[in-house]
Structure 1
Amino acid sequence: MAPVGSGLWRTLRAHQVYGANTDVGKTIVSTVLCNAVQRQKQRAAFLKPVSTGALDDADNRHLERYGAGALTKCLYQFDEPVSPHLAAKSKTIPRDEDLLASIHQTLSGWARSDIDFALVETAGGVHSPGPNGNSQADLYRPLRLPIVLVADSRLGGISSSISAYESLLIRGYDVQSVLLFRDEYYQNHEYIGDYFRNKSIPLVHLPAPPAKPSQTDPDAQQRDEEAMLAYYGQASRESEILRLLEEMTIKNKQRIERLEEMTDRAQELIWYPFTQHRGMQAKDITVIDSAHDDYFHTFGSSGTNQEGELRPTFDGSASWWTQGLGHGNPELSLSAAYAAGRYGHVMFAGTVHEPALSLAESLLKTLDNPRFSKVFYTDNGSTGMEVAIKMGLRAACDRYGWDASQEKINILGLKGSYHGDTIGVMDCSEPSTYNKKVEWYRGRGHWFDFPLVKMVDGQWKVEVPAELQEDLGPDAEFSSLGSVFDLNSRLDSDASQRYKKYIHRTIKDLVETHGMKFGALILEPVILGAGGMLFCDPLFQRCLTDVVREHPELFSPNATPAKTSPSWSGLPVVFDEVFTGLYRLGRPTSASFLDVHPDIAVNAKLLTGGLIPLCTTVASQEIFDTFSSPEKSDALLHGHSYTAHASGCTVAVDSLRAMSKMDKDGSWDGYRADWQNTTSSTASTPEVWSVWSNGLLKDLSCAEPVESVFAIGTVLSISLRDAEGAGYNSTAAKGLQQKLAAGGDQFNVHSRVLGNVLYLMSSVTSKPESLQELESLLRSALV
């Protein structure tokens, strides 16, 4: 089932009616509003997605009887007068996706007709369950209709009304109006009115409906109908109701006008990251009204076949690699709110709070590295890598007696590396588009070229750069991606010996002939992301790490290999797992693909499931001890005002727990099964899988415009042919990007390109149906 866009139409003012509790008069409020609209010579409509109880007592029947001609509709009717999740047990239960699609389709149809105003009424209270047992606050969230909240005028109603409002607010709803009935005894309307007035939300209090006549009266039904008709006639003419309807009209218009002007205003005011503004136009900017699950809800997307002003747009870059558990995840939102309410922000120098301590314990368990014992907190991947560099260089200089103020200390890495945009870590990458025009850039290191893993014409291969084939050997083909990662077998191969000999010789020449000193080995395990989605042969990274650790004499003549594994040897090994870590590639760590335990590792992005900025730099006890001294100046003097902020740490604990649960409960078994290759796998072949299907890769790899592809975990990379050469400045992927932006009938795709490479990334919670539709779009565009 296709995702639905948020509900917004120019010609239809659509609202959703929530109640602070059951039996607070939602349907009476809906009837009053529909009466008022009808009396203004406009057409009103009432939609009850799910109704329970006897048909004669159904809410839509009440509207038919008293709604002054308003159009009414009920999508699913269950006979039992109980909660929808119980009433639906004996019936065919509609999927949440089907229910949402039916609502959106109904409203879109009304928007095309002469209907001016529509109400979608929920059942029970804000958190009453829908047919599948999910809270209605979460069930209807993708629609994100503006809310009419019916408050509770009874004893305890103040609390339930404010709680309902906060539950809606924390899920990203806009509560535009609050209505309740006047009760002269409890007078809730006075307190609640003041509460919402302070939040600039209008509150309308209505006269209480007439009491039901005694059932012993033979004319009870007629008297009741007469009383209700008179009530609706009076209530629908109240000036506050008419003023509220006018405000609803204005707010709908203003919302659309604001969305329409956002691109021009953004063009005027905002300086975008990684963007050349010369030639950029307002139309090139995507307006995001909200986001939910894997989708942005975008305004004015070109090529839309979707009814309404907002369209679902698949977040194809996982919002720059941050999304793990979906946009608007209610559990993470509640976690963040809880920590914000409990702590706000508290300083972290010489203090501790439960979220930071819990995250440190949870992260060390997740990383499962016997070397790690200390967790340092920063706020993003680049600053986390700054800390890692400080740690690694200090440890090397301390061990080898080097004075960094008097001599240049370099790093070892790979070509195409990228570790962030702060000045220090820029120096840890070779000159590139990202850094060579930065005035303070001074590249400090040596970066190895390396063999690439890719699928070409349906065949996995390790492609060796032409200039290195004399040293490293020719290209090699593999029967499966798992066999590429079978390092237990490959370490005994001729390729492994060639790799190690070349690496050893190169480092020795750099040190002895060129006089270079190296203080750390820094790697992005498996995939170098920003450098162009470069899938490094894992054997090469493993051999590079082994040479560094097994030959410390390369870096200092008197150095010897470490006798115990927790002690670093040769150089501190730093793994930048900001992109590839924490289940991005289908495993808790990308280091596990290399069977290497680094001395220092950096994690961010998926750490908080895509909700809040946070980063950790994790190090061994030995690295930590390097900074221990009687002198304050020897400490790691690095920090941020918002170090280890409680909301980020709390969300991260829950994010790690959720992803670990998915790893163990079979959530990804379907993907794993698709990637199992029983004809070529052996007992030693590691499990490697992707959410992107094996069949898609083979089809794309044989397409004429495609040079190569690969997929692992949630990552899909497509390299397009470019006669003028690959690289960051290539425009070869633009055409594919534009086709995805146009999309299909169900949704379009927001994607990013790195030169001739277009990559797509899902969250770990992406639905198979969404990925299948996206794969269909790719096939249509390329195959």
Structure 2
Amino acid sequence: MSPVGAGLWRSLPAHQVYGANTNVGKTIVSTVLCNAIQRQNKRAAFLKPVSAGALDDADDRHLARYGAGTLTKCLHQFDEPVSPHLAAKQKTAPRDDDLLAAIHNTLSDWARSNIDLALVETAGGVHSPGPNGNSQADLYRPLRLPIVLVADSRLGGISASISAYESLLLRGYDVNSVLLFRDDYYQNHEYLANFFRQKSIPLVSLTAPPPKPPQEDVASHARDEEAMSTYYRQVSAESEILRLLEDMNTKNQARLTRLEEMADRAQDLIWYPFTQHQGMKPKDITVIDSAHDDYFQTFDAGQTEQQGGALRPTFDGSASWWTQGLGHGNPELALSAAYAAGRYGHVMFAGAVHEPALSLADSLLKTIGNPRFTKVFYTDNGSTGMEVAVKMGLRAACDRYGWDASQEQISILGLKGSYHGDTIGVMDCSEPSTFNKKVEWYRGRGHWFDFPLVKMVDGSWVIEIPGELQADLGTEKATFESLGSVFDLDARLATETSQKYKNYIHRTIQDLVDRHDMKFGALILEPVILGAGGMLFCDPLFQRCLTDVVREHPELFSPNASAPKSAPSWSGLPVIFDEVFTGLYRLGRPSSASFLDVHPDIAVNAKLLTGGLIPLCTTVASQEIFETFSSPEKSDALLHGHSYTAHAVGCTVAVDSLRAMSDMDANGSWDGFKADWRSHSVKAAKPASPEVWSVWSQDLLRDLSCAETVESVFGIGTVLSISLRDAEGGGYTSTAAKGLQQKLAAGGDQFNVHSRVLGNVLYLMSSVTSKPESLQEMERLLRSSLV
């Protein structure tokens, strides 16, 4: 099922009516508002998505009877007068996606029919379950219609009303107005009027309707109908109601105006990251009104009512710069953040501890499963986390080998195309590139190996050998039956290729140390995929061999060094894994280090750590690395930190995020994707364990790899990378992928795609909760754009 756009139309102020509780008078309030519109010679419409109970008592029937000509519609009527999730058991319940689509389609039709006000009324209270048992506050969230909240005038109603408001606010709804009936005994309206006034939300208190007579009294029933008709005529004419309707219309237009002006204002006020502003126009800026699940709701000034409204679902194709794990607007994570904010706000961390930081440290160490790791250091983003990792690694190496970094240059070993962040220190851990070579303090301190690349070309998995290795291996490429066989390191380590890799690596390091007098303090790798460098998929055997050579030959770095006797101890150089991008299930596993069967000495995680909600980073290290900084001197400590270290909100969200992803891993949430890859794989003598798989189908990869404009593709975990042919040779400044990016931005009938390019490479990324239906539609869109 395709996603729906959020509900916003130029010609139609559409609102959703929620109740603070059941039996608070939602339908009476709806009828009052519809009568007031009709009195102004305008047209009103009322939609009841789900109704339960006797047909004569149905809310849409009430509107039809008393709504003065209001257009009414009910999508699903259940006979039992119980909660919709119970009533639905008597019939086949509509799928949530189908229900949302039906609501959106109905409102879009009304927007084209010159309706002046549309109300969508829920059933029961804010958290009353829908037909499939989901809270209505979550069920209807993709529409994000502005809210008319009907407060509770009864005993306990103040608490219920404020709780309902906060539940809606927590999910990103805009509560535009509050109505309730006056009760001179409890006087809830007076207290709530003051409460909502402080929120700049208007509250209108209504005269209570006449009491309903017993059902068996036919004469009284006739009098009741007359009394209700009189009630609606009188109340709908009150000035407060008329002002409220005007306010609802004004807010709808103001929302549209704000969206229309945002791109121009952003052009004037904002300096964007990774953006050359020369020639940039407001039309190049994506205006995002909200986000939910895998989709932004983007504003298109050219959208018409015929196209479904002013907002369009846009697939978040970069997972918002690789951060999205559990979907935008995740209510569980939002609740976690709110709880921690209410409990702590932010508290000082140096020399203190709080439960979220302690729980996250424990949970993270168990999730990663590296027996070397014992200590967790907190920072706020991947770049600063890598700064800490480099400080740790260099200090450990200098301490062991007796080097004085103030007197001699200490460098790092890495791979070409590496990228570890934009802070000055870690910039020097990457070779000169577009990202750093124009930064005035950049020096580039290290050696970066060229390496074999894994890719699918014309339907086959190949490893392309770089020029300086071709002479050693005697070939330009090697072909593999499946991606799983590429990762079968147990078998590949016994091959001649492995030994040739190791010989080349050893010879190169020996030459750098002997002939160029270089000293190396750490090996830094992005396991499997080098992200910002161009989605470069490194042969895992090469990374494994590089790690093995460094650890097995400490004499390369200091003539008198020998391998430590203790197995967990670091040897040769501290090995640092930058898993900011590839860690925590991005590639389908808790740690990307597992693909190499390597336990690094230091690792950095961010991005998916908090499921995409809030910045947080961890640098995890071994006990031996930690003890390097232990000394009677304060100056020997790791003097690094920032004001929001171990931010309690971020730590709480991260604990819940890790738990959610771990549960998905354990309960088989990705079994369908794994089965697809398993069914296409040629069975090896010893298949990779655990499996190598992707949310992107093998059929898609094969088809795209055979497309005329495609040089190569790969998919692993949630990542899909497409390299476009470029006669100029590609690279970060290439524009070869722009055409595909523009086609995806135009989209299809269901949604369009916001994507990022790295030169001639366009990559796409899902969250770990992406629905198969959404991914299948994405695949159809890619095929139509490329094949």
Task: Tell me if both proteins adopt one fold, taking TM over 0.5 as the criterion.
Answer: yes
**What is the deviation of 1:565?**
1.9
**What is the deviation of 1:682?**
3.0
Residues 246 and 302 from structure 1, CA distance in 2 versus in 1: closer, same or farther, beyond 3 angstroms?
closer
Deviations 1:592-644 (A, max 9, x none): 00000000000000000000000000000000000000000000000010000
Deviations 1:747-771 (A, max 9, x none): 0000000000000000000000000
Which residue number corresponds to residue 683 of structure 1? 686
Question: 8 Å contact 1:303–1:743 — kept in the other structure?
Answer: no
**What is the deviation of 1:217?**
4.4
Which residue number corresponds to residue 469 of structure 1? 470
The more displaced of 473-482 and 670-679 is: 670-679
SS at match of 1:575: strand
Identity %: 83
How many Å separate the matches in 2 of 1:109 and 1:116? Answer: 12
Deviations 1:155-211 (A, max 9, x none): 000000000000000000000000000000000000000000011000000000011
Deviations 1:433-468 (A, max 9, x none): 000000000100000000000000000011001332
AA partner of residue 699 (structure 2): G
Q: CA RMSD in A?
A: 1.0
Which residue number corresponds to residue 411 of structure 1? 412
Moved over 2 A (4+): 213-218, 301-306, 677-686
Which residue number corresponds to residue 448 of structure 2? 447
Question: 8 Å contact 2:182–2:188 — kept in the other structure?
Answer: yes
SS at match of 2:757: strand
**What is the deviation of 1:563?**
1.5
Which residue number corresponds to residue 692 of structure 1? 696
Which residue number corresponds to residue 5 of structure 1? 5
Deviations 1:188-239 (A, max 9, x none): 0000000000110000000000112355644111100010001000100111
Question: 8 Å contact 2:482–2:681 — kept in the other structure?
Answer: no
How many Å separate the matches in 2 of 1:255 and 1:408? Answer: 57
Residues 471 and 780 from structure 1, CA distance in 2 versus in 1: closer, same or farther, beyond 3 angstroms?
same
Question: 8 Å contact 2:303–2:310 — kept in the other structure?
Answer: no
Which residue number corresponds to residue 161 of structure 2? 161
TM-score (norm 1): 0.99
Question: 8 Å contact 1:22–1:124 — kept in the other structure?
Answer: yes
AA partner of residue 702 (structure 1): C
How many Å separate the matches in 2 of 1:161 and 1:17? Answer: 13
SS at match of 1:219: helix
Which residue number corresponds to residue 612 of structure 2? 610
AA partner of residue 630 (structure 2): S
Q: How does 1:136-151 map to 2 (within 5 A)?
A: 136-151=136-151
How many Å separate the matches in 1 of 2:276 and 2:216? Answer: 79
Question: 8 Å contact 2:481–2:682 — kept in the other structure?
Answer: no
Residues 733 and 215 from structure 1, CA distance in 2 versus in 1: closer, same or farther, beyond 3 angstroms?
closer
Which residue number corresponds to residue 721 of structure 1? 725
Give the alignment partner of residue 666 of structure 1, picking from 652, 665, 668.
668
How many Å separate the matches in 1 of 2:7 and 2:532? Answer: 36
Which residue number corresponds to residue 327 of structure 1? 328
SS at match of 1:394: helix
Question: 8 Å contact 1:397–1:519 — kept in the other structure?
Answer: yes
SS at match of 1:155: coil
How many Å separate the matches in 1 of 2:774 and 2:387? Answer: 38
How many Å separate the matches in 2 of 1:338 and 1:20? Answer: 21
How many Å separate the matches in 1 of 2:50 and 2:750? Answer: 25
**What is the deviation of 1:495?**
0.7
Question: 8 Å contact 1:303–1:742 — kept in the other structure?
Answer: no
Q: How does 1:411-560 map to 2 (within 5 A)?
A: 411-474=412-475, 475-560=477-562
SS at match of 2:148: strand
How many Å separate the matches in 1 of 2:78 and 2:681? Answer: 48
Which residue number corresponds to residue 206 of structure 1? 206
Deviations 1:230-256 (A, max 9, x none): 100010011110000010111000000
Which residue number corresponds to residue 70 of structure 1? 70
Q: How many residues align?
A: 783
SS at match of 2:722: strand
Which residue number corresponds to residue 263 of structure 2? 263
Deviations 1:33-79 (A, max 9, x none): 00000001110000000000000000000000000100000000000
**What is the deviation of 1:379?**
0.0
How many Å separate the matches in 1 of 2:211 and 2:413? Answer: 82
TM-score (norm 2): 0.99
Give the alignment partner of residue 730 of structure 1, picking from 730, 734, 737.
734
The more displaced of 459-468 and 336-345 is: 459-468
How many Å separate the matches in 2 of 1:413 and 1:152? Answer: 64
SS at match of 1:183: coil
**What is the deviation of 1:685?**
2.9
Which residue number corresponds to residue 101 of structure 1? 101
Deviations 1:327-366 (A, max 9, x none): 0000000000000000000010000000000000000000
AA partner of residue 467 (structure 2): A
Residues 242 and 347 from structure 1, CA distance in 2 versus in 1: closer, same or farther, beyond 3 angstroms?
same
Which residue number corresponds to residue 55 of structure 2? 55
How many Å separate the matches in 2 of 1:397 and 1:594? Answer: 27
Which residue number corresponds to residue 764 of structure 2? 760
AA partner of residue 682 (structure 1): A
How many Å separate the matches in 2 of 1:16 and 1:690? Answer: 39
AA partner of residue 232 (structure 1): Y
Give the alignment partner of residue 594 of structure 2, picking from 573, 592, 595.
592
Question: 8 Å contact 1:488–1:684 — kept in the other structure?
Answer: no
Question: 8 Å contact 1:321–1:579 — kept in the other structure?
Answer: yes
Q: Does 1:85 align with 2:85?
A: yes
AA partner of residue 561 (structure 1): A
SS at match of 1:709: strand
Question: 8 Å contact 1:527–1:534 — kept in the other structure?
Answer: yes
